[in-house]
Structures are given as structure tokens and as C-alpha cells.
Amino acid sequence: MCSLDEKTETVLGEIPVIARLQVGSEHLTLVPTDARIIVVYRGKRGAGALATGQFFGGLSGAFEDLLKSGKESLAKPRGSQSPKEILASNKDNFAIGLDEIVRVDVEETYHLVDLTILTKNEKLEFSARLRFDRVVDLLGKIVGDKMFSRRLDGREQRST
């Protein structure tokens, strides 16, 4: 983990994402700063939402969202929090130092933006509903030429 001077680290924005698990999914928020990406835990969706969701067309997931939304809203980053406070707000939050990032892939799909962050130790895969251009803009500012993006029409570009 990085030791950072809180006065100089700036939050650049938020990217709400979903990480698929073997059973269910995790709802997270990526908080890029000018020194790292903070991964903020918002909540988990379990097997019940997946199994009955297929039968009821997602109603169980919506019901689970209603039950969990109050608790999860407490874990959401707030604009007035410092990066240190955001990181400390939940024991499951963690940071990815910019020096740990090997590559970031951002791919536009029909409904989501797929995002892969490859670090020296792991591969993290997420899906976001945020606009493709916004994700590329937020992450491109901090990872530079480590980012590769691909639009739905097949155009590839490397961030500069």
C-alpha cells in the first residue's frame, strides 16, 4: 500500500462497477485519484438473486436491491471524504497503486463497458454502466499509455 500525502491526492471521479463472482456478484465503486485507484465495496448479490432472477425476470434482484440499498448507500464515497477516509470507510476497501498497474483494458459492449485491470499480482474484471468515453477519460488521465480501449465498432486506441 502506498503512503500518500493526503493534501496532494485528488479524487478524480467515481466509476460504479459490478464484479462477477462464481455465485452472484459484488457491487463496487472505482475511485480514481491522481495517485491510485481506490476500490470501494458497496455490497454483494447472492445466488438467490441469480437463480430466481432467471425465473422472475430479475424481480428478485430488484427486491434484494431495495433491501440492501440503505446499507450500501452508507458505504458509497462522498465528495467531501478524503481518499484516506474513503479507503478506511470499509474493511473490504482497498487501493491499487499506479505503480502496480501493468495494463488497463476498456471495451465498449452493447449495454455495458467491460473493464480489466491487470496488476503485477492479479487480474480484476468489472462491468460498468457509465458511458464508455467517461470511463476512458477518468482512467486514461492516471494510467496513460497502460490503457487500451476498444469501441463497439472495433476501433482500438491506445491512451497517450
Block means of pLDDT (10 residues each) for the chain, 160 residues, are: 61 93 86 95 68 45 46 51 92 95 95 95 94 95 94 70
Note the pLDDT of residue 78: 56
For residues 44 and 24, give the distance between their C-alpha atoms in angstroms, rounded to a whole number.
7
Note the pLDDT of residue 85: 92
| Residue 4 within any structural domain of the chain | no
List the end-to-end C-alpha distance of the chain, in Å, as a whole number. Answer: 26
For residues 94 and 7, give the distance between their C-alpha atoms in angstroms, rounded to a whole number.
20
Nearest partner of 99 among 37, 8, 157, judged by Cα: 37
User: What is the pTM assigned to this prediction?
Assistant: 0.75
| Residue 49 within any structural domain of the chain | yes
| Residue 158 within any structural domain of the chain | no
| Residue 123 within any structural domain of the chain | yes
Q: How far is CA 123 from CA 15, 32, 89, 159, in A?
A: 18, 17, 24, 20
What is the tally of structural domains in the chain?
1
| Residue 3 within any structural domain of the chain | no
Q: Which three-class secondary structure string do you get for 90-155?
A: CCCCEEEEHHHEEEEEEEECCCCEEEEEEECCCEEEEEECCCHHHHHHHHHHHHHHHEEEECCCCC
Cβ-contact 82, 88 below 8 angstroms: no
| Residue 53 within any structural domain of the chain | yes
| Residue 121 within any structural domain of the chain | yes
| Residue 20 within any structural domain of the chain | yes
The parent domain of residue 31 ranges over 15-149
CATH number, residue 106: 2.30.29.30
